Structure 1
Amino acid sequence: MTRFKAVLKLAAPWAARNADVAIALVLAIVVGVLGLLPEDIFGKDGGADVQKQLVTAATLAVLALVATALLRDRARQAPVERAITSGALAELPVRLRRLEEIETLAHSTRSALDALQLVRVLGSQHEIAQCHDEARRDTARWSFKGGTGTYLRAVTLPSCVAAARRDKRHLTVRIEVIDPADPEVCEAYAHYRRSLSDVPDGTGETWTTDRARKESYATILAAFWYRQRYGLLDIAVVLSSTMTTFRWDISSTRLIMTVEDPNMAMTALAGTFYYENCDTELRLSFEQARRVPLEMYKKVPLGDEPTIEEVQELFERIGTPLPKSYDGRDVVDIARKALRAVDPYGKQLPDVHRGVS
């Protein structure tokens, strides 16, 4: 009895909230029971008719209650549907437009912030090398302005030419280095490098006026050598009578500005304010420097291993003769620096120039 009362207490609130459904359920049970009862219970004469009438009446009552419940539910749902239709759904197009506007604004804000971030500081030798790798990747052009172009000859130029040759695409290179025929600028550059460190650098050499001169001659020789071996290379070299303490490398995708500290550099992506202005600066500086006549590359052919005579004749023909004090060992040293330069910040790329011969 106690259990029955407990069940009744739980069922009573539900039955009160759903009276019509509860009555329909009870009547359905009654109809089912009436249909199962024997006909003689309702009387021997006409019991079957009485049973049918009771079942029919109860069935109609159940249907009426069900219909009433459906109508009541629809009446309750109608205000909700109207609210949804006239409210949230009606405002949906407006909200979608606002979301699009917010997305556009966020994109514009991000672009503006990227543009305002002029440079990113690179704080390690590994990070600088990785940045150079990314800059060289699939680039169609490279501009350099610096001292003598040692790293350019050791890594940048052979890597870019080899990649362009592999993909059979055009490559434009612009190089500005100090004038080897100007002893004052060579001495100024060597003095500056010695003032920072008087010990041998990553190449194993110390900086002297003669070394600065040879490094610059080597850059000129390397430009002719690569031009003769890759027809889609558009390379130009100019010689400056003033030195710079910075080195600029600009590719299609980024700018990298390095200093003598191998663990410090700055970079900026293409399209930023700093990139575009540095690119303009290098173009103007390039136009004002003394141009090397690289269009004469066909007149003085260089072998895979240039001979002393070939190197001497090349510099004579382009109007930048080697010093008379240079002997055969000096010329060989220039050729070695041109085609087998040692990376001052890492490992040497052995015989990388053979990939373009």
Structure 2
Amino acid sequence: MSLSGIFSSAHQRRSFLLASGGLLLLCFLATLWIANRPEQSPSLETFNSFLNSVVASGAFAILSTLYISFFVDPNEVQKAAVVLPQDISQNLERIVADSVDYQISVRTGRHFRAKTLPRLLEQAKKHRQPIRVDAILLDFRDEAICEQYARFRQSATFDSHLWSVEYVQSEVLATILAIARAKNEYPLLLNVQLYLSKRLSTFRIEGSSQELIVTREDPKDFAYRYHRSHRDYAAYAHELGLIRTEASNVDVPTNVAPTEVLQTMFGLGKIAATVITAAEQAVGGRSPYA
């Protein structure tokens, strides 16, 4: 527990100052009463000196504490933002539970389609309130980007054996299918904007307009959360905006048969049949981070 932590709460700050100020006032009044007595014994003089010391040191301590509380401890700020690997799912659940909007910039969106999207729909149905989702995925149409990402995952992640160009494409398409089917099933509850980005990053940014969380590819990596009040929130929100601006907006159709969604969105013959088959099989898959 730190002074900055205690003083960050208005209630605790007020309680501390009132209690300390009240005690010092009583001590000060006692010194005045003793000083005005016509006769003072040695013990009373000693007690009066003690009270004077308490008042002086207490006043100095309060003023010093108030002064120190205006400074920022970088270590405390850093610790407040860090999320342990085992707490990432819990924090994502909490953000989703409090959201009326959600934005995410990822590569394939495996965890998003398996866990986050269904949870967002549950919240929308529970509160009978539409939710806006901005989803930015890797542009599967760019094979060079997909190959670069696949090579990265092959060399640096826990599930390296899975990754190939076709796997990247099928996983992106599986997430697109999940989004399209959710929108088709709940057109009044899910307002989704889909973007395909050629920007490659090892970080994933997602969250609501109130809080963002930044994660990495490996479930053993630390994550970082930034509430809207955090000084770094605006930087990551701006980064999301830049990625969205540079990405291609893709219309998500409604009233289309599930087997025709991808062809309607991207055109007949544009996607290999094997990739489409793999994507359809992956739609209901589990999150690799569960």
Q: TM-score with structure 2 length normalisation?
A: 0.69
Residue in structure 1 matched with residue 126 of structure 2 by the alignment: 166
Report the CA distance between 1:321 and its aligned residue.
4.8
Alignment equivalent of 2:190, drawn from 233, 238, 244: 233
Alignment equivalent of 1:272, drawn from 230, 251, 256: 230
Report the CA distance between 1:152 and its aligned residue.
0.6
Q: Quick one: which amino acid aligns to residue 334 of structure 1?
A: A
Residues in 2 aligned to 1:266 and 1:153: alpha-carbon distance in whole angstroms: 21
Q: Quick one: which amino acid aligns to residue 270 of structure 1?
A: R
Residue in structure 1 matched with residue 148 of structure 2 by the alignment: 188
Alignment equivalent of 1:337, drawn from 279, 282, 285: 282
Residues in 2 aligned to 1:192 and 1:323: alpha-carbon distance in whole angstroms: 25
**1:153 and 2:113 aligned:** yes
Following superposition of structure 1 onto structure 2, how do residues 1-357 of structure 1 map, counting pairs within 5 Å? 109=70, 117=77, 120-124=81-85, 126-197=86-157, 200=159, 206-230=162-186, 231-264=188-221, 265-294=223-252, 296-298=253-255, 300=256, 302=257, 306=258, 310=259, 313-319=260-266, 321=268, 323=270, 325-327=272-274, 330-338=275-283, 340-346=284-290
Greater Rg over alpha carbons, structure: 1
Residue in structure 2 matched with residue 30 of structure 1 by the alignment: none
Q: Quick one: which amino acid aligns to residue 147 of structure 2?
A: E
Asked whether the 8 Å contact 2:173–2:276 carries over to 1, the reply is no
Once structures 1 and 2 are overlaid, which stretch shifts more, 270-279 or 142-151? 270-279
Once structures 1 and 2 are overlaid, which stretch shifts more, 317-326 or 265-274? 317-326
Gaps in structure 1 of 5+ consecutive residues: 1-78, 84-97, 347-357
Report the CA distance between 1:122 and its aligned residue.
2.3
Give the 3 Å change call, closer, same or farther, for CA 181–253 of structure 1 in structure 2. same
Residues in 1 aligned to 2:269 and 2:117: alpha-carbon distance in whole angstroms: 23
Q: Deviations over 1:235-265 (max 9, x none)?
A: 1111112311111112243211111221221
Residues in 1 aligned to 2:94 and 2:271: alpha-carbon distance in whole angstroms: 42
Residues in 2 aligned to 1:324 and 1:176: alpha-carbon distance in whole angstroms: 19
Report the CA distance between 1:323 and its aligned residue.
4.6
Report the CA distance between 1:324 and its aligned residue.
5.4
Asked whether the 8 Å contact 1:186–1:213 carries over to 2, the reply is yes
Residues in 1 aligned to 2:109 and 2:172: alpha-carbon distance in whole angstroms: 7
Asked whether the 8 Å contact 1:128–1:263 carries over to 2, the reply is no
SS at match of 1:244: coil
Once structures 1 and 2 are overlaid, which stretch shifts more, 145-154 or 265-274? 265-274
Q: Quick one: which amino acid aligns to residue 315 of structure 1?
A: L
Residues in 1 aligned to 2:262 and 2:269: alpha-carbon distance in whole angstroms: 6
Asked whether the 8 Å contact 1:145–1:175 carries over to 2, the reply is yes
Gaps in structure 2 of 5+ consecutive residues: 1-31, 37-58
Report the CA distance between 1:224 and its aligned residue.
1.1
Q: Deviations over 1:67-124 (max 9, x none)?
A: xxxxxxxxxxxx96xx8xxxxxxxxxxxxxx9xxx8xx79x849x779x926622233
SS at match of 1:236: strand
Q: Deviations over 1:158-207 (max 9, x none)?
A: 1111111111112111111111111111111111100114x646xxx611
SS at match of 1:318: helix
Asked whether the 8 Å contact 1:250–1:279 carries over to 2, the reply is no
Residues in 2 aligned to 1:322 and 1:141: alpha-carbon distance in whole angstroms: 34
> RMSD value over aligned CA atoms?
3.2
Q: Quick one: which amino acid aligns to residue 143 of structure 1?
A: Q
Q: Quick one: which amino acid aligns to residue 206 of structure 2?
A: D
Asked whether the 8 Å contact 1:177–1:216 carries over to 2, the reply is yes
SS at match of 1:267: strand
Q: Quick one: which amino acid aligns to residue 215 of structure 1?
A: E
Asked whether the 8 Å contact 2:199–2:243 carries over to 1, the reply is no
